[in-house]
Amino acid sequence: MKTIGILGGMSWESTLEYYRLLNQGIRAALGGQHSARIALYSVDFAQIEQLQHEGHWEATAEILAHAAQGIQAAGADFLLIATNTMHKVADQVQAQIDIPVLHIADATADSLEQQGIRTAGLLGTRFTMEQDFYRKRLEQRGIQVLVPDAQERALVHEVIYNELCQGIIEPASRARYQAVISGLAARGAEGVILGCTEIPLLLRQQDTPVPLFDTTAIHARSAVARALG
């Protein structure tokens, strides 16, 4: 079994889900008392969040690259950056380490292709929805990406940072997200990517008839396959 490196803490609420899913995946595959070999480095998200909103992405890349080097030194065979948004600096992180970064958008594209989805809605932070670092990776695979309108993007972003990253789950916010998803489906989305690792804390498949793609679960499944491959 390979050792999975996790660069987490962005936020720790979703890193907790990664840890659970990775260990459950290994146990399901191997049985008995097996659990995942994991090297975890968890950053202080307050520092990252401030730099994100100030637009200081190079500074975030330096923090994550330093953490990734520590994960590599701890014996990890490959790396998960346990957040969608910070894949904006995935290339900078990869340049500073020798082990491969398992990119969350690539794993998501694989899952979309397996289910025949060619047009997908994307929910996430404002950075993920509005910038092209994530969308372009999907579009290069022939997947059309739809995002909510400006008002809806602001709503989705605010719920992530002000509620989900702090462990707050509000039924009213779930209803608002359901309305956003319905709007994306009406525009032609065949499925919707939960492109922030906290969103699955709020929304489950039973909450909407539109197929959802939980990037936390997808990333974890891909890591389990890599660890056992």
How does the average pLDDT of the chain come out, rounded? 97
Question: Does the domain spanning 4-103+218-228 belong to CATH 3.40.50.1860?
Answer: yes
What confidence score (pLDDT) does residue 56 get? Answer: 97
Mark whether 165 is an active-site residue. no
Give, to the nearest 10 degrees, the angle between helix 150-162 and helix 171-186. 150
Contact in structure between 83 and 108 (CB atoms under 8 Å): no
Mark whether 83 is an active-site residue. yes
Percent of the chain at pLDDT exceeding 90: 100
Residue range 146-165, pLDDT digits in tens = 999 999 999 999 999 999 99
What confidence score (pLDDT) does residue 219 get? Answer: 98
Instruction: Quickly count: other Cβ atoms within 10 Å of residue 37's Cβ.
Output: 16
Annotated catalytic residue, options 15, 83, 197, 215: 83
> In 3D, which of 128, 43, 48, 117 has the Cα closest to residue 85?
128
Residue range 214-223, pLDDT digits in tens = 999 999 999 9
Question: Does the domain spanning 104-214 belong to CATH 3.40.50.1860?
Answer: yes
Contact in structure between 173 and 180 (CB atoms under 8 Å): no
Average pLDDT (185-205) is 96
What's the CA dihedral at 181, 166, 157, 87 to 10 degrees?
Answer: -100
Domain limits, CATH 3.40.50.1860, in the chain: 4-103+218-228, 104-214
Annotated catalytic residue, options 196, 197, 215, 216: 196
